[in-house]
Amino acid sequence: MKDSVAGIDYRFSDRRLLEEALTHRSIGAGNYERLEFLGDSVLSMVISSRLFELHPEASEGDLTKMRARLVRGATLAELAGAIELGRAVMMDSAMMKSGGFRNTSILADTFEAMLGAIYLDGGLEACREVILTQFEPLIEAMPAVEQLKDPKTKLQEWLQARGRPLPLYALEFEEGAAHAKTFYVSCVLDDGTRAEAEGSSRSAAEQSAAARLLDGFREQGE
C-alpha cells in the first residue's frame, strides 16, 4: 500500500489509515464511511476559520453561504477528480464496472475520508495545510455573496418581494439504474407558470427548474 495520494503533499505514517480512506463500502467492513464523517467535520471547521479570518465584515449568514459553496459535494468531487482520486478507490467489480470510480458522490465522500485519515495520522495542522492548499484558489475566486444564492432561493425571494406564494415543486418521474438515476421535476407558480427540468438528484432538478423560471423573468424584463 502506498503512503501517499498523487497530487496531495502528505505522506502517511500509518498506511492503514490511507487504505481505509480509499476503501468503498462495497468491499465490506473497514470502509471509508467513519473517516468520511470525521473529514467532513474537520473540513468544515478549517474552511469556517479561514473565511472568518478573510471576511471580518461578513454576517453569519454570508459566511454560511460561502462555506456551503466551498464544501458542497460537487466541489469536493471536482477536487477529487483533479487528482484522479477515483482511480485509487478500492471497490468491488460490480461497482467498478458501473463506473463507481467516476461517481461524484463517491469521489466527494472519498475526498473527505482522505482528510479524516490525514487528521488522525498527522494532526490538525497537517490536515489544515492540505485543505488550504486545495481550497485557497477557490476561496480567492469566490464570487460576491449575492451570486452565491442558489436558483431556488433567488426564486423564493423574487416571489416574496412581490407578495406571491412560494412555488410548488413536484417529482414527475424518475428513470435509470439505482446508482445513476435521472429525476424529472416541475416547478409551478400561483399563476400557473411552470417549468420542468431534470437532474441527477431531485434537488438538482428542482434547482434547474427554478433557474429556468428566473431566466424567463429576465427575458421578459421582470
The single residue of 36, 40, 109, 121 carrying the catalytic annotation is 40
Per-residue pLDDT averaged across 128-149, rounded?
87
User: How long a stretch of residues is the chain?
Assistant: 222
Per-residue pLDDT averaged across 159-179, rounded?
92
Residue 77 has pLDDT above 80, yes or no: yes
Q: Quick one: which of 85, 79, 76 has its CA closest to 18?
A: 85
**pLDDT over 90 for what percent of the chain?**
69
Which pLDDT score, from 0 to 100, does residue 146 have?
67
Inter-axis angle of helices 73-82 and 104-122, nearest 10: 80
Residues 39 and 44: their CA atoms lie apart, in Å, by: 8
Per-residue pLDDT averaged across 54-76, rounded?
90
- Over residues 36-63, the pLDDT tens digits come to 999 999 999 999 999 999 988 888 988 9
Which pLDDT score, from 0 to 100, does residue 3 have?
86
Residue 180 has pLDDT above 90, yes or no: no
Q: Is 14 a catalytic residue?
A: no
Which pLDDT score, from 0 to 100, does residue 181 have?
87
Q: Is 112 a catalytic residue?
A: yes
Q: What angle do CA 171, 75, 136 make, to 5 degrees?
A: 155
Backbone angles phi, psi at 106, to 5 degrees: -65, -40
CB < 8 Å & 24+ apart, contacts of 184-189: 185/209, 187/155, 187/212, 187/213, 189/159, 189/164, 189/213
> What's CA 199's distance to the chain center, in Å?
15
Residue 189 has pLDDT above 90, yes or no: yes
Q: Quick one: which of 194, 151, 200 has its CA closest to 174?
A: 200
> In the structure, how many helices (H) and strands (E) does the chain have?
9, 3
Residues 202 and 72: their CA atoms lie apart, in Å, by: 16
The single residue of 20, 36, 109, 112 carrying the catalytic annotation is 112
Residue 182 has pLDDT above 90, yes or no: yes
Q: Which amino acid is at 62?
A: D
Q: Mind listing the domains of the chain with CATH numbers?
A: 15-144 (1.10.1520.10), 151-219 (3.30.160.20)
Cβ count within 10 A of residue 85: 26
Per-residue pLDDT averaged across 87-101, rounded?
83
Q: Which amino acid is at 9?
A: D
CB 124 within 8 A of CB 48: no
Per-residue pLDDT averaged across 5-12, rounded?
94
Which pLDDT score, from 0 to 100, does residue 92 have?
85
Which pLDDT score, from 0 to 100, does residue 31 have?
93
